Structure 1
C-alpha cells in the first residue's frame, strides 16, 4: 500500500537519537543485503569475484542469494513502507527482523536467519490485518494474501525445504504485492465486470501452484507459469499504464517501467512452465521475473515511494531512463544471447548489477538536485528583497 506522498515531516519534528541510530542500522542492513545479494548473484552467474582467501560471506552470499535479495532486501523495503503507512511502533518488528536475517545468513547461521524471517513474516501478516481492519478493500485483502505467502515461504525456508518449494512462495509474495498496488492505483477506473474476479482467480492459482510445487514440481511449475502469464495479460489489458504512456514526465516514465515489466512477467511465466517441462530455462524464469518484472516495478515506483518513506524529495528528469534502459538491455543480452554464446551470462549479469548501481546513483543525484534547486529558490527572494530595499525611495 502506497504511503501518501503528501505526508511530509513538519518542522521541529526531530527524531530522537535512539530513533536515528535505529534508522541508520536498518539502512545499513538493507544496503548490505542488496550488495551481498548482487555479489552472490554475480558469483552464481560465473563472474570471478572470489579469489583464494576470499571472505566466507561471499560464499554464503552465493548460497543465500534468493533469501538475501527477496527477503532481507525487498521484503524489508516493503515492510518499511507498510510500517510507515500504518504508523504503529510494533509494525517495525517486521522490517527489523528481516533486516537482521541478512547478517545472520551471511555469517553462516541459516537457522537463526530462518527464525528471524519467520518472525518477520508473522509480524508482517499482523500489520496487514491492521490494514484490512482500517480499510477493507480488494487491494488490502490482496496485500494480506501476499504477506501470508511470504510467511509460508519463510516457514518452509526455516524448515529446510528445497528452493523448489520455497522460491515460488517468495515470488508469489512479490507478484501479489505488485498486483495489489496496481489494483489500488486503478480502482477508480472503469473495468469490465469480470476483471476483478479474474485477477483474484489468477492470484489464487499462483498460490495453489506455489503449494503444489513442493509435491509435484512439474504440475506445480506449469500452473505457476500459467498464472504468471495470465497476470501479465491482465495487467496489460487493465492497468492505467496504457493511458499514462501518452502523458509527459514522471507519469510516462512510470508507464514505460510498468509496461516493460509486464512484458518480462509474460516471459517469466513462459520460461517457468518450460523449466517444469525440463527445458534449460531456469535462469530466464527467475531473472525475467526478479529483474525484468520486479526491479522494473521498483524503478517505476521509487520516485513516488522514496519521498514518502525516506522523507526526501527528488527532482525527476531524463537520467532515470538510463538505468532502466541498461536493465532491459542487459537482460536481453543475458537471457537472449546466452543461447549463442554462454559467455553472455556473466557479461549480462555484470551489466544487470551496473543497472542497479546506476539507478541508486541516479536517485541520490535526484535528491541532491532537488536540494540544490530548493536552496537556490530560497536565496532568490532574499536577493530580490535586498535589491528592492536598495532602490531610491
Structure 2
C-alpha cells in the first residue's frame, strides 16, 4: 500500500496462497509459495528502503531475512527448528512499525535501540540453528529486552489512562508486550523447549498474544488506509480483545497443569476471539 506499485501485492497474495495450500494438504506447493512470498516481501521492503534509506526501514528489510531463511530451511527441517527465525520476523516487523508510529514518545534513542535489538534478535535466531542451547537462550534474552523496551517507552502506558479508542489501543499494546515478555522468559530460562507445554507457550504467546493483539490494536487505524473504508472504534471491540487474552491465560494455566480442561477451554476461547474480532470489524465497517 505504501509502495503504490501493483506488483507489491504479489507478496501478501503468495503468502496467503501458501497458507491455503498448506491447509489443503499440498505441503510442498505451500512451502514453495511461502518462499516466493517471502522473497517478494523482501523486494517490497528493499524498494521502500531505496525510496527512504532510513534506519527504521533498514530494520524492516532485516526482518525479511529470518523469514526467507526459515521458509527455505523448512524444505529440509521441521518447524520446531526454525521457530526462533519465524518469531524474529514477526517481532522485528511489529517493533519497527511501533517505532515508526510512536517516534516522538519513544525518544531520540529509539532508533539506535531498535537497530541494536534487531541485530541481536536475528543473530540469536540464526545462532539457534547451530548452537540450539545457547542460541535459544540468547534469543529469549533479546526478546525479553525488546518487550521491556516497548513496555517502558511506548506511548501505550499513557494511552491506557485515557478513554475510547486510545484506551483500547493502549490496552491491546500493553497486553501484547506482556505476552512477548512471557515468551522471552520461557526461551531464556528453558532454552530449547523440552516439552509440549513450553513449546505451546512460546508459540501462542508470540503469534497470538503478541501478534494478534497488535492486529486488534491497530485495526481501526491501519485497516481504513489499506481497505479504503472507515473502520471506526466501537466499545464492542473490547470483547474479542478480552476473549483473546483470557483464553491465552487459561491455555497457559492448562499447560502448567498438564493440559486438561483449562487448556481445552482456553483453546476454544482463543478461536472464538478471532471469530468475534472478524465479526466486530465487519459490523463496524458496514455500519460506517
Q: Select the residue among 238, 246, 252 that pairs with 1:329.
A: 246
**Which residue of the partner structure matches residue 267 of structure 2?**
349
- Structure 2 SS opposite 1:313: coil
Tell me if 1:209 matches 2:116.
Answer: no
**Unmatched tracts of structure 2, length 5 or more:** none
Q: Select the residue among 228, 240, 261 that pairs with 2:155.
A: 240
Deviation of 1:267 (Å): 0.5
CA gap 1:258/1:91 in 2 versus in 1, 3 angstroms? same
Tell me if 1:369 matches 2:287.
Answer: yes
Quote the Cα distance in structure 2 between the aligned partners of 1:325 and 1:267. 18
User: Relative contact order (C-alpha < 8 Å, sep 6+): which is higher?
Assistant: 1
Tell me if 1:287 matches 2:204.
Answer: yes
Deviation of 1:365 (Å): 1.2
Tell me if 1:172 matches 2:88.
Answer: yes
Deviation of 1:273 (Å): 2.5
- CA contact 1:296–1:324 (8 Å) conserved in 2: yes
Tell me if 1:135 matches 2:52.
Answer: yes
- Structure 2 SS opposite 1:85: coil
Quote the Cα distance in structure 1 between the aligned partners of 2:102 and 2:202. 28
Quote the Cα distance in structure 1 between the aligned partners of 2:70 and 2:244. 27
Tell me if 1:191 matches 2:107.
Answer: yes
Deviation of 1:341 (Å): 5.8
Query: How many equivalent residue pairs?
Result: 285
In the superposition, the TM-score normalised over structure 1's length comes to: 0.69
Rg comparison, structure with higher value? 1
Quote the Cα distance in structure 1 between the aligned partners of 2:218 and 2:161. 18
- Structure 1 SS opposite 2:130: coil
Tell me if 1:92 matches 2:9.
Answer: yes
- CA contact 1:165–1:214 (8 Å) conserved in 2: yes
Tell me if 1:319 matches 2:236.
Answer: yes
Q: Select the residue among 269, 284, 297 that pairs with 2:184.
A: 269
CA gap 1:337/1:114 in 2 versus in 1, 3 angstroms? closer
**Which residue of the partner structure matches residue 145 of structure 1?**
62
Tell me if 1:307 matches 2:233.
Answer: no
Quote the Cα distance in structure 2 between the aligned partners of 1:268 and 1:187. 25
In the superposition, the TM-score normalised over structure 2's length comes to: 0.93
**Which residue of the partner structure matches residue 48 of structure 1?**
none
- CA contact 1:131–1:140 (8 Å) conserved in 2: yes
Q: Select the residue among 71, 78, 84 that pairs with 1:162.
A: 78
Segment drifting more, 208-217 vs 357-366: 208-217
The residue correspondences of 1:40-119 to structure 2 (distance < 5 A) are 84-119=1-36
Quote the Cα distance in structure 2 between the aligned partners of 1:171 and 1:225. 11
- CA contact 2:106–2:154 (8 Å) conserved in 1: no
Deviation of 1:308 (Å): 1.2
- CA contact 1:330–1:349 (8 Å) conserved in 2: yes
The residue correspondences of 1:24-43 to structure 2 (distance < 5 A) are none
- CA contact 2:173–2:213 (8 Å) conserved in 1: yes
Segment drifting more, 257-266 vs 107-116: 107-116
CA gap 1:95/1:338 in 2 versus in 1, 3 angstroms? closer
Quote the Cα distance in structure 2 between the aligned partners of 1:291 and 1:156. 23
Deviation of 1:244 (Å): 1.9
- CA contact 1:164–1:214 (8 Å) conserved in 2: no
Quote the Cα distance in structure 2 between the aligned partners of 1:356 and 1:240. 26
Tell me if 1:221 matches 2:139.
Answer: no
